[in-house]
A and B are shown apart, each in its own frame.
Chain A
Amino acid sequence: MTFDINKIRSDFPILQRKIYDKPLIYLDNAATTQKPQIVIDRITDYYTYENANIHRGVHYLSQIDTTAFENAREYIARFINAPKKEEVIFTKGTTESINLVAASFGRKILNKDDEVLVTAMEHHSNLVPWQMLCYEKEARLKVIPYSDKGEINLSTYQMMLGDKTKIVALPHISNTLGSINPVKEMIRMAHEKNIPVLIDGAQALSHLKVDIADLDCDFYCCSGHKAYGPMGVGILYGKTEHLNFMDPYQTGGEMVEHVTLYETSFNEIPFKFEAGTPNVEAVLGMEAALHYVEETGLDEITAHEKNLLVYGTKKLQQIKGVQIYGKAAEKAGILSFLIDDIHSFDAGTIIDKFGIAIRTGHHCAQPVMNKFGIPGTVRASFAMYNTREEIDKLVEAILQVKKMFG
């Protein structure tokens, strides 16, 4: 299979758009990715031909819908190589997945003076839920440091894993620094001490191969919208033993087995964690998105984005005064930088005028900004449809910024 960038670009209708009369250059993929026509069609088809509530009716539409929904679960489980499909729970995104684990698992296992380990490069989504939990339980949040390059020191990490450590929460890929963390090794180290590990995979899905069975993580969290799928859907993967041990996160319809006015017994996993009517359109859209990724070739996508990273890094380094944040040896297509001492907001405002969508600010990772003593960065993040020519345009925009603020 060949990786045909022109075909890919034509599959994403938004890329035909003009912004301020210039072709859209979308480099804010770490915030959310664009959607291929196939995903948009899937959602339209769903409402045009299939809409019904699932798991509840004997009527025809409800039946085919339930089948489609459960087939999507099966396909998505296979996509991330989850050992069992019922270990895949649909949530509204990474944030909800993490909150679910903190509330239903963390709250059950954590006691006073216990420890939760996170890294200093966390997105707020994988930091604040643990902070709150530790506060509630009078437990301690311990923070795994990283080098100026953005690399976690494994021996420091190993030393931090102690008798009191009850859970470790790590980002697969840092959304600011781009570091691909050695999560497999980190999970292994934690498991040696019987400590469960949650991986925040928001930035990994559809950018590199996520292989749950190989990672052997206890929990894996990700969002559909960052993987070419719709918003409002995400995955929580959890090992069966944990999911069975955990209490429900929300209660209501769908997740119960037997209800009297005074007592309720809960349904099995995954339904125990899917209270209420799920976001069916988004689940089906996410399935379509991952199909598209599989057909395009995930390895090819990874290689293409790596190529863009290498090219972009080289180009940016050639501009005097550009400082790149995040120089890990293992890095995904995320480039955070500053231009001279120009505020990221100023740079972003001008770059936007070139029709280029980039992100500015702290990227929901204020501790990372604090470490480097900066209020924010400019961030370009790549997806399968980006090109070197787009990076060249970004370089032009940066030169304009330098001219205006220099």
Chain B
Amino acid sequence: MSMEEIQEQIITEFSYFDDWLDRYNHLIEMGKSVPLINEKYKTKNYLIGGCQSRVWLHAAMKDGVIIFSADSDAVITKGIVNLLIRVFSGQTPDTIIDADISFIDEIGLKEHLSPTRSNGLMSMIKQMKLYALAFKTKSANQ
């Protein structure tokens, strides 16, 4: 599925909920699903700064696409991370670098995008794009 299609899918999923409570319950459900990251990556090196909850993010390049895995100690954050992984994981570095993430706004989670919000959704997105940039540079140099 293309990144746009996945985003459409998420928007449709969230459109069934019309109040914040249900949206958050859905996010929490997503957050409760099994940790996606290998335990050995839950170290300082993989920690993203600027988050009130801790977020570990790992990226690997496989067959031209980037596979992300992540975890957080807060459930809502984990739900948001899972959303991002659904969107970004399995995409090429170029797609990720150019990605438009306006779907966050459309599913009513815009408040998490504000730079002052300490859950660091912005930091996560930035880190994912940085990984993409790094992998792109690396493959260009090979």
Instruction: Write the residues of chain A forming the contact surface with B, with a CB cutoff of 8 angstroms.
Output: 20, 342-346, 349-350, 353, 360-361, 375-376, 404-405
CB of B16 closer than 8 Å to a CB of A: no
- Taking CB atoms and an 8 Å cut-off, the chain B residues in 26-49 that contact chain A are 28
Task: Give the complex CA separation of A206 and B52 in angstroms.
Answer: 30
The contact size tier of chain B is 10 to 19
CA–CA, A350 to B23, complex, Å?
A: 11
Contacts of A375 in B (CB 8 A): 53-54, 73
In the complex, whether B3 has a CB less than 8 A from a CB of chain A is no
**Quick check: which of B61-69, B74-82, B90-98, B122-130 contacts chain A, the rest being far away?**
B74-82
- What B residues does A349 contact at CB under 8 A? 24, 76, 119
Are A405 and B53 within 8 A (Cβ)? no
Q: A345-B118, A346-B53, A361-B52 are in contact. List 18 more A-B contacts (CB 8 A).
A: A20-B20, A343-B73, A343-B75, A344-B52, A345-B53, A345-B76, A346-B28, A349-B24, A350-B24, A353-B21, A353-B24, A360-B52, A361-B118, A375-B73, A376-B52, A404-B25, A405-B28, A405-B75
Minimum distance in angstroms from B80 CB to a CB of chain A: 10
Contacting residues, chain A, for B25 (C-beta < 8 A) = 404
- A346-B74 contact, Cβ under 8 Å, with A353-B20, A404-B25, A404-B28: yes
Q: Hey, which chain A residues are within 8 Å of B76, CB to CB? A: 345-346, 349
Between B20, B21, B28, B53, the greatest number of chain A beta carbons within 10 A of the residue's beta carbon is seen for B53
> Which of A345, A350, A353, A404 contacts B52 (CB under 8 A)?
A345
- CA of A375 to CA of B54, assembled, Å: 9
CA A405 to CA B54, docked complex, whole Å: 18
Give the residues in chain A near B53, CB-CB below 8 Å. 343, 345-346, 375
Output the nearest chain A residue to B75 by Cβ-Cβ distance: A346
CB-defined contacts of A345 to chain B, threshold 8 Å: 52-53, 74, 76-77, 118-119
A297 to B106 Cα, complex, angstroms: 49
Contacts of B54 in A (CB 8 A): 375
Closest Cβ neighbor of A349 among chain B residues: B76
Q: In the complex, which residues of chain B have a beta carbon less than 8 angstroms from the beta carbon of A20?
A: 20
Contacts of A376 in B (CB 8 A): 52
8 smallest beta-carbon distances between A and B, as pairs = A343-B74, A345-B74, A345-B53, A345-B52, A361-B52, A346-B74, A346-B76, A346-B75
- Give the CA-CA distance A349 to B121 in the complex, in Å: 14
A360 to B118, CA, bound (A): 10
Contacts of A342 in B (CB 8 A): 75
Q: Which residue of chain A lies nearest to B119 when distances are taken between CB atoms in the complex?
A: A345
Query: Smallest CB-CB separation from A350: which chain B residue?
Result: B24
Contacts of B119 in A (CB 8 A): 345, 349
Find chain A residues with CB under 8 A from B74 CB. 343, 345-346
Q: Please report the C-alpha to C-alpha distance between residue A405 and residue B79 in the assembled complex, in whole angstroms.
A: 12
